[in-house]
Amino acid sequence: MDDTPQSSRVSSTDQDAHARILRAALTEFTQRGYKGASTRGIAERAGVNEVTLFRHFGSKLDLLRAAVEQALMQMKIPQDLEPYLHGTLEQGLSQFISDYLLQVTAQSDILMLGFSEAFSQPEISDLLREFMWKMRGMIVRYFEAMRERGAIKEGDYPILAHIIMTSLHGAASMRKRTPIEMAQLSDERLTGCLVKTIVDAYARYAPDSPIHDTQLT
């Protein structure tokens, strides 16, 4: 009698129920998996009655779909390579990778969910794979643009893109899951090492001499 359910509704920044349920669903699904998450739990977390959840989304599976769809929509794939083609190879690559890592970290919930639920929810993993595919294509195109400018050597760009994506994704998910910091796996350190390695391995000219600053663009 003391605390009315309304209080919790107001406390949740007063978004409409729809959005609150979506957010709650995503975190519950992520933390507990699809099977492990309960509609009751999601409703509680959203500060909403369980019935409202069903009125909005019909079924648990539809809720999952909606949550994933919405989350992937928010995940922006850089459509334009221009910003990353200025300056040194190192500068461009750094910017590119840290931008990507930002996205991955922010949306690591949905990525992890997609990975862990890939087997049981094919449609979800399709969405995810499509995203990964696009992202990979983007990175490959970035490398090709760099090669056309004479900044980097030939290489197995798709695999290189895969390495970049998986190591960033692995770091993001590890940071989410494990209480301890797996060896101070900071964004800066990771991107730094990744960029340095790629630059040292693929830069056409000695990486220490910033030759290409003017040439690029």
Partner DNA sequence: TTATAATGCAAGTACATACTTACGCAAGTG
Partner DNA sequence: CACTTGCGTAAGTATGTACTTGCATTATAA
Residues near its own copies, by CB under 8 A: 31-36, 112, 115-120, 125, 129, 132-133, 136, 155-156, 158-160, 162-163, 165-167, 169-171, 173, 177-178, 180, 182-183, 185, 189-190, 192-194, 196-202
The partner in contact with residue 198, picked from DNA, its own copies, none with C-beta cut-offs of 5 to 8 angstroms by kind, is its own copies
Nearer to its own copies, 5 or 158 (CB): 158
**Alpha-carbon distance 97 to 120, whole Å?**
31
Task: Please state the closest distance from residue 110 (CB atom) to DNA, in A.
Answer: 19
**Alpha-carbon distance 42 to 28, whole Å?**
6
CA angle 72, 77, 78 (to 5 degrees): 160
The partner in contact with residue 165, picked from DNA, its own copies, none with C-beta cut-offs of 5 to 8 angstroms by kind, is its own copies
Q: Which candidate, 89, 195, 99, 66, places its Cα nearest to that of 146?
A: 89
The partner in contact with residue 18, picked from its own copies, DNA, none with C-beta cut-offs of 5 to 8 angstroms by kind, is DNA
Token duo for residue 149? 């400018």
**Alpha-carbon distance 114 to 120, whole Å?**
10
Task: Please state the closest distance from residue 68 (CB atom) to DNA, in A.
Answer: 15
